[in-house]
Structure 1
Amino acid sequence: MRIRLAVLVGRAVRVVARLRGGGSAIPGNIALRIAPRFLEHALGGLPLGVVFVTGSNGKSTTTNMLVGVLRAHGMRVFTNPSGANLPQGIASALLASVPLDGRVRDDIAVLEVDEAYGVGLADRLAPTDLLLLNLQIDQLNRFHEPDRVYGMLERIRDAARRRVIVNAADLNTAALGRESRADQEVVVFDVAPEALAASPHGVAAAPRATPTGASPERPALPEASVVVLQVEGTMASIAVGGERASIALPARGLHYAVDAAAALATARSLLGAQFDRATAESAFAGLDTVYGRGEILDARGQQIELVMMKNPPSLQLNLDALGRVPQRVMVAVDEGTPDPSWIYDTDLSTLDHVDIVTGTKAWQWATRLAYEGIEVGAVIEEFPAAVDAFLALPEPSDGPKVAVINYELMMELRLRMGYLDLEGGA
């Protein structure tokens, strides 16, 4: 009875939330208040279990890729929209599809999971498989030191009942694979040395964290089943089980190729003999770009390329991948980035000027740019006025305008440009 009530009330709230423009975690919050075990009920008993995708960066993109490949192979997959990676976000996503009995009818669930909340979710949902993408320097206000996140990922790993998929190019996820339980299958994806060397800052992995425990049963990782060989523009050459695949990426950059390798390694493990390389290649070619991750917005007839800055590595790798010095640049940062002091460690050499700096952190960014000798055209703290001024600038001759932007203002910009399908709005 509680489950049925949770679905009915949650759906009603969801309709109201979407009429306001976009989605919300409120429906999921309400459903969980009515039925605290709503998630366990909905996702328990799936034929192929539950897959968690977690790590510092790349969760949304990799989840999107993995789901696309599995669906291309005919698998019925439940997933949460990118960004809806907390319990209430997953619950909101469930309300969009479950029948009144509250049980998912798909073959498998692939869930993007926040590292901190993933510990509790792992205890509740007991994932069958865990994909560990990376451990990078993250939001200091949330995660503090990488060692703390390592401990979170350890606990999530220990809850995985069948398989752990790890990134050998990241020292910390590699260690998490080596230190896994003897009864856990470990699957490895990697990056060829030549591809790493071609990226100015590699994969931006954090220094090796101090492990809280070690298992002598696993002295070495298995050979990588999927390896990134080369990245050229938005195409990656990736070896999958020894066969070379040409994979279309959502945007430029080695980090997107690593996400693709992670998705391929996981899909190959889940599908077994049913995995088909050509089908996977076709799936990548047809994928939509995830919000803000290499996305190019149509903004009142102009194009704006979004360069996200969720944390230091995401900003650095996205700047590295620009491939050019942009002619028109706006930097937009608000209170969603509580402490932007980490920008003093960021290599900003891709930029030779910034036209407009905006948001509540505008003057902090303007100061950082001044130290770097990068000229700032104008500081306009009010975001709506800054967007209007940016769009009024002459259009560049070499591609779209570029917005270096944090997550919260990225969402506001999308809304202002008429993109009402807000992230996490299931």
Structure 2
Amino acid sequence: MAPTSDRSRGTRAVVANGVGKAVLNLRRLTRGGGSALPGLVAERIDPRMVSRLVAQLPEGVIVVTGTNGKTTTTKMIVAVLEAQGKTVLTNRSGSNLSRGVASAILERSAWRGRLLEDIAVFEVDEASMPAVCEQLRPSTVVVNNLFRDQLDRYGELDTTAAVIGRAIAGLDGSATVCLNADDPLVASLARYGDRPDIRWFGVDAEGVERLDHDAASDSDHCPQCGHALDYTKAYYSHLGHYRCPDGHVERPTPELSLTSFESIDVHDGASRLTVDVEGDSISIVLPLPGLYNAYNALAAMCAMRSRGVALHDATDALSHVTAPFGRVEHVDVHGRGLRIILVKNPAGFNQIIQTFLGHPKGTRLMLAINDGLADGRDLSWLWDVAIEDIAPCEFVLCTGGRAADMALRFKYAGAEADVVPDMVEGIAELLRRTPEGEEAEVLANYTAMLELRALLDSQATLKRFWQ
């Protein structure tokens, strides 16, 4: 009976792969992107399809998770590996649930279920980590940070950390876990399972500014006793140098440490970083702005170092990386330059304010805010955004389904914002008020960004999310 059973499983795997690829191609022809549906269909036919396919990859799988920076960090790791001559399988669309990962694998598999890549790098939704890691059996896991996000979906941060902890506890004994030493809750994940190979990254730079109204400190209490942590350095939100007053936890010493950070070109997006690696210093000009992207680069370098990649090679690749879909994306529309930036929680929004909007320059600003399922219905987090630290703007427009909520937050910050709920009309008003040859900033949460890009696509050439 065994041969028949094996033959049956093999047939099911081939059918699942073929049907999934057919659905993917059909979706791309009719709607412009593969998304998650092909993976959902294929997994219904063969629940073990993903495990069978990734087992073919000779160098295994890297998984990146956390609240902010998953997409950018994943793209950075892919850039380094490709510069090393590796062929890499990744979920470029950013679809990071189990079915999205399955769809990315389907896209690159042959019709009979063969993968030819050397290695895979996937960003994975925090709540999906246990199920996805069980299928992928990653050899490296990176956790960037844990911030309050989509409370109506994830619940409190302790719950999210426990979910990721279960995934870490289930990893193979040889797996490496790279953790952000500056995030107390992320650092606490080291206690899950028998995990000797923990790699740490963090920031030790002096003179890094913090917004005056950055009160979005989501996890600044000891994970063990609950007492407020003592901080000697606080970079943003709850990231910094901390210790429990009762001695239960203390920031680990990172093996990769950012010792200096300088914004050198905010307009085009560039930062100068100095990274200390166990006594050796490496300099890099990162073509992405903000301290938050410096953390992403540290995470990527930590993962690469754990796999034996020389850091000088890694920094060379990182010096040429570009922002992914919707993250500091420059678009020309009828002679106006629009910079589109994703915002989705207080910690990330405040970093965008810190990087782009905190200096007086007469910014033209539009905010597009929805409350779709992918955004989270609860938008009370808008009140924790440091709107007061936005420098005076030439004008502020609010559009999208929750435009009035955003405008009200500006009003309480002492600034006026005009409400144009319809996004078509909002874009038209933005272009009308922005002179030809000038620029404007557009901040949008996830579904608003997708809607905005779809509307702009008829007026400008935008990169597809799978490109």
For the pair 1:231 / 2:242, whether they are aligned, the reply is no
Cross-structure match for 2:286: 249
Does the C-alpha gap of structure 1 residues 192 and 64 become closer, same or farther in structure 2, counting only changes over 3 Å?
A: same
Contact residue 226 and residue 265 of structure 1 kept, 8 A: yes
Contact residue 188 and residue 265 of structure 1 kept, 8 A: yes
SS in 1 for 2:363: coil
Cross-structure match for 1:92: 103
Does the C-alpha gap of structure 1 residues 211 and 116 become closer, same or farther in structure 2, counting only changes over 3 Å?
A: farther
Does the C-alpha gap of structure 1 residues 250 and 88 become closer, same or farther in structure 2, counting only changes over 3 Å?
A: farther
Contact residue 72 and residue 283 of structure 1 kept, 8 A: yes
- The whole-number CA distance in structure 2 between the counterparts of 1:41 and 1:6 is 12
Contact residue 238 and residue 245 of structure 1 kept, 8 A: yes
Q: Offset at 1:76?
A: 2.5
- The whole-number CA distance in structure 1 between the counterparts of 2:286 and 2:391 is 24
Q: Which has the larger displacement, 244-253 or 115-124?
A: 244-253
CA displacement, residues 166-208 of structure 1 (integer Å, 9 cap, x when unaligned): 111111111212x14444301111101416x434359966334
Contact residue 54 and residue 133 of structure 1 kept, 8 A: yes
Contact residue 334 and residue 436 of structure 2 kept, 8 A: no
For the pair 1:362 / 2:403, whether they are aligned, the reply is yes
1:166 to 168, 179, 198: 179
Does the C-alpha gap of structure 1 residues 38 and 420 become closer, same or farther in structure 2, counting only changes over 3 Å?
A: farther
Cross-structure match for 2:121: 110
Gaps of 5+ in 1: 213-217
Contact residue 69 and residue 283 of structure 1 kept, 8 A: yes
- The whole-number CA distance in structure 1 between the counterparts of 2:411 and 2:66 is 33
Contact residue 255 and residue 317 of structure 1 kept, 8 A: yes
Does the C-alpha gap of structure 1 residues 389 and 267 become closer, same or farther in structure 2, counting only changes over 3 Å?
A: same
Cross-structure match for 1:215: none
For the pair 1:390 / 2:430, whether they are aligned, the reply is yes
Cross-structure match for 2:371: 335
Q: Offset at 1:62?
A: 0.4
CA displacement, residues 338-380 of structure 1 (integer Å, 9 cap, x when unaligned): 222111121111143443111110111111111111112x311
Q: Which has the larger displacement, 31-40 or 2-11?
A: 2-11
Q: How many residues align?
A: 413
Cross-structure match for 2:327: 293
For the pair 1:189 / 2:226, whether they are aligned, the reply is no
1:154 to 165, 176, 201: 165
Cross-structure match for 2:17: 7
1:307 to 317, 323, 341: 341
2:384 to 335, 345, 356: 345
Contact residue 184 and residue 251 of structure 2 kept, 8 A: no
2:421 to 364, 370, 381: 381
SS in 2 for 1:96: helix
- The whole-number CA distance in structure 1 between the counterparts of 2:168 and 2:183 is 16
SS in 2 for 1:104: coil
Q: Offset at 1:294?
A: 1.9
Cross-structure match for 1:282: 316
Q: Offset at 1:243?
A: 3.1
Does the C-alpha gap of structure 1 residues 382 and 114 become closer, same or farther in structure 2, counting only changes over 3 Å?
A: same
SS in 1 for 2:138: coil
Contact residue 13 and residue 49 of structure 2 kept, 8 A: yes
CA displacement, residues 29-50 of structure 1 (integer Å, 9 cap, x when unaligned): 2122222211111112432222
Q: Offset at 1:219?
A: 8.5
Contact residue 250 and residue 256 of structure 1 kept, 8 A: no
- The whole-number CA distance in structure 1 between the counterparts of 2:251 and 2:406 is 42
Contact residue 216 and residue 346 of structure 2 kept, 8 A: no
Equivalent pairs: percent with the same residue? 32
SS in 2 for 1:116: helix
Does the C-alpha gap of structure 1 residues 301 and 31 become closer, same or farther in structure 2, counting only changes over 3 Å?
A: farther
Q: What's the C-alpha RMSD, in Å, of the aligned pairs?
A: 2.5
Contact residue 251 and residue 293 of structure 1 kept, 8 A: no
- The whole-number CA distance in structure 1 between the counterparts of 2:221 and 2:62 is 26
Q: Offset at 1:123?
A: 2.2
1:122 to 133, 140, 146: 133
Cross-structure match for 1:318: 352
Does the C-alpha gap of structure 1 residues 264 and 375 become closer, same or farther in structure 2, counting only changes over 3 Å?
A: same
Q: Offset at 1:332?
A: 0.8
Contact residue 306 and residue 403 of structure 1 kept, 8 A: yes
Letter in 1 for 2:428: D
- The whole-number CA distance in structure 1 between the counterparts of 2:64 and 2:116 is 21
Letter in 2 for 1:245: I
- The whole-number CA distance in structure 1 between the counterparts of 2:249 and 2:150 is 32
Letter in 2 for 1:383: M
CA displacement, residues 131-174 of structure 1 (integer Å, 9 cap, x when unaligned): 11111111111122111111112112112322111111111111
Q: Which has the higher contact order (CA 8 A, sep 6+)?
A: 1
- The whole-number CA distance in structure 1 between the counterparts of 2:430 and 2:280 is 46
Under a length normalisation based on structure 1, what TM-score does the superposition of the two structures give? 0.89
- Structure number with greater Rg is 2
Cross-structure match for 2:306: 269
Does the C-alpha gap of structure 1 residues 157 and 395 become closer, same or farther in structure 2, counting only changes over 3 Å?
A: farther
Contact residue 184 and residue 223 of structure 2 kept, 8 A: no
